[in-house]
Copies of this chain bind each other. A is one copy, B any other.
Amino acid sequence: MQAKKKDFSEWYNEILESAELSDKRYPVKGMNIWLPYGLKAMNLIDAATRRYNEEFGIDEVSFPVLITRNQLEVEFEHLKGFEGQLYWVTRAGKDQLDVELALRPTSEAAIYPMFSLWIRNHADLPKKVFQICSVYRYETKHTRSFLRMREFRFYEAHTAHVNYEDAEKQIRDYMGIWKKLNEIFLIPNVINRRPDWDKFPGAQYSLAVDSIMPDGRTLQVATMHQYGENFSRTYDIKYSDENGEQRYVSQTTYGMSERLLGGMIGIHGDDKGLIFPPEIAPIQVIIVPIPSEKADISGFSARINERLKAAGIRSSVDTRDNYTPGWKYNYWEMKGVPVRIEVGEREVNEGRITVIIRSSKGRKTFTLAELETAIHHSISEHGRKLFENSEAVIRENVKEATTVEEMKQPFTFFAYWCGRRECSDEIERVAEKSCLGVSVSHPGKGKCIVCGADGERSMFSRTY
Contact = CB atoms under 8 A, between A and B. Distances in A.
Contacts of A63: 26, 33-34
Residue from A25, A40, A89, A95 with most neighbouring chain B CB atoms (10 Å): A89
Given A25-B117, A66-B151, A114-B26, A129 B88 contact: no
A369 B138 CA distance: 60
Contacts of A86: 92-93
Contacts of A70: 27
A103 B117 contact: no
A61 B88 CA distance: 26
A83 B151 CA distance: 24
A60 B87 contact: no
B31 A64 contact: yes
B88 A59 contact: no
A101 interface: yes
A35 B64 contact: no
A26 B88 CA distance: 18
Contacts of A113: 27
11 contacts: A26-B64, A27-B68, A27-B113, A34-B61, A35-B61, A39-B61, A43-B60, A66-B87, A90-B90, A90-B91, A95-B138
Interface string A59-92: 1111111111011000000000001111111111
Interface string A39-52: 11001000000000
A94 interface: yes
A439 to B, nearest CB: 34
A356 B55 CA distance: 28
Contacts of A34: 61-63
A423 B86 CA distance: 52
Given A94-B84, A114-B26, A117-B25, A33 B60 contact: no
Interface residues of A, number: 51
B60 A40 contact: yes
A258 to B, nearest CB: 11
A429 B94 CA distance: 31
A443 interface: no
Please name the 6 residue pairs, one residue from A and one from B, whose CB atoms are nearest each other, closest first: A31-B64, A34-B62, A36-B59, A92-B138, A88-B91, A93-B138
A64 B129 contact: no
B90 A28 contact: no
Contact of A93 (B84, B93, B114): B84
Nearest to A28: B66
A67 B27 CA distance: 8
A257 to B, nearest CB: 14
A25 B114 contact: yes
Interface in A128-142: 129, 134, 136, 138, 140
B92 A28 contact: no
